[in-house]
Amino acid sequence: MLERLESIINRYKEIQDELADPSVTNDQKRFRKLMKEQNDLSAIVDAYNRHKAAQAGIQEAIEMLDKESDEDMRELAREELANCRKDAEDTEQELKILLLPKDPNDDKNVVFEIRAGAGGDEAALFAAELFRMYTKYADAHHYRVEVTTYNEMGLGGIKEAVFIVNGSGAYSQLKFESGVHRVQRVPVTESGGRIHTSTATVAVMPEAEEVDVTLDMNDCKFDVFRASGNGGQCVNTTDSAVRLTHLPTGIVISCQDEKSQLKNRDKALRVLRAKLYELELEKAHAAEAAERKSLVGTGDRSEKIRTYNFPQGRCTDHRIHFTSYRLDDIMNGDIQEIIDALIAADRAEKLSAGADE
């Protein structure tokens, strides 16, 4: 680990020297690339410098204990030694986490799909509430949401919602949300007061860039139709909605959120690229998943991951046995506590796997 850290320190210094070169400053593409690399390395460099300072403090405290005969000074040295040892342990753990392989998709935008599952109208209502939960979370973290598809049903529920969450690091925060979400509560239509269980499925995909996926436009069939549902002027009076069919895979995407047919077409293509990229990722991860199932799940939309129990005000993530009794806050988008617990569990598992190798 020390050799790798020294290599990172040397690279960090090289980047600083390059950024000071006027020719690099004039090359905006290279300048942005170097700035991003410097930003990615800065946390490691800072933690390593603090670790080295703690190690130096340990050595100084030990030397003081060897030389000093005054008991008050020796007591100060012992306190300093204990503090420096704790700092050294903390920074070593921090460095181990920072040096874990980074998911190359972490900085990408997110394509979300939410679909009503088992439970009829109650499942559709729950799907709508999940959509609201995630969009409120996005708003609170200054992510921008673009709705691609929103198929409403009666009583305010939805059959399906597809939307894109735009923002740096969005995927790193939301990637563990894929799976079956289960709700337990008394439906508004239940006269006997019985608790029903309904489900909705959530799929989270990193938005793919054009370089990530090779898309042959000859494989894409576009149909246009008149948008339906709520909308402003022109939305229901022109053929602005787009249905995109990817012929090799049979994937069908409809987009009618925009008044412009061209904008709907572009959104549909963004969702298609994400879906094709997800298929490639699933193939790449298949071998790893066969060897070791991740603690926080495979991301498979058929896996039951979380239960929202309204009578008890409880939300439980089954993958990490995490329970919160702040259900009202969670349904209003305050899910960071769950996200942080999932990220911590994933890191702990990776650290453990690295130690076993």
Domain ranges of the chain: 2-98, 110-349
User: Parallel, antiparallel, or unpaired for β 304-309 and 179-185?
Assistant: parallel
Report the distance separating Cα 57 and Cα 95, nearest Å.
18
Segment 232-240 mean pLDDT: 53
Q: Are 158 and 150 in contact (CB under 8 A)?
A: yes
Lowest model confidence (mean pLDDT) among 201-205, 232-236, 308-312: 232-236
* HEC profile of 12-30: HHHHHHHHCCHHHHHCHHH
pLDDT confidence of residue 141: 96
Portion of the chain with pLDDT greater than 90, in percent: 63
pLDDT tens column, 42-58:
999 999 999 999 999 99
Q: Is 232's pLDDT higher than 80? A: no
Q: For residue 27, is pLDDT > 70?
A: yes
Band of residue 236 on the pLDDT scale cut at 50, 70, 90: very low
Confidence of residue 153 (pLDDT cuts 50, 70, 90): confident
Q: Which of 122-136, 196-210, 232-246 has the highest mean pLDDT?
A: 122-136
Average pLDDT, the chain: 88
**What CA–CA distance (Å, rounded) separates 245 from 222?**
7
Nearest C-alpha neighbor of 180 from the set 122, 113, 231: 113
| Residue 306 confidence class, pLDDT cut points 50, 70, 90 | very high
Half-sphere exposure of 190 (CA within 13 A, CB side): 14
* pLDDT at 327 exceeding the cut of 60: yes
The CATH architecture to which 2-98 belongs is: Up-down Bundle (1.20)
Q: Are the C-beta atoms of 110 and 174 separated by less than 8 Å?
A: yes
Of the two residues 264 and 239, the one the predictor is more confident about is 264
- Could you report the per-residue pLDDT of 115-128, keeping only the tens digit for each? 999 988 999 999 99
The pLDDT assigned to 46 comes to 96
The pLDDT value recorded for residue 36 is 86
Instruction: Say if residue 142's pLDDT is above 60.
Output: yes
Q: How many helices (H) and strands (E) does the chain have?
A: 9, 11
Give the Cα separation of 297 and 188 in Å (integer): 33
Question: What is the reported pLDDT for 296?
Answer: 61
pTM to 2 decimal places: 0.76
pLDDT-above-70 percentage for the chain: 90
Instruction: Please give the pLDDT value at position 300.
Output: 55
Bridge partner residues of 160 (DSSP): 115, 151
Q: How far apart are CA 82 and CA 261, in angstroms?
A: 66
Q: Among all chains, which residue has been given the structure tokens 């498979």?
A: 300
Indicate the fold that domain 110-349 takes in CATH. Answer: Alpha-Beta Plaits (3.30.70)
Over 70: is that where the pLDDT of 165 sits?
yes
- Could you tell me the pLDDT band of residue 7, with boundaries at 50, 70 and 90? very high
- Pick the more confident residue, 292 or 238: 238
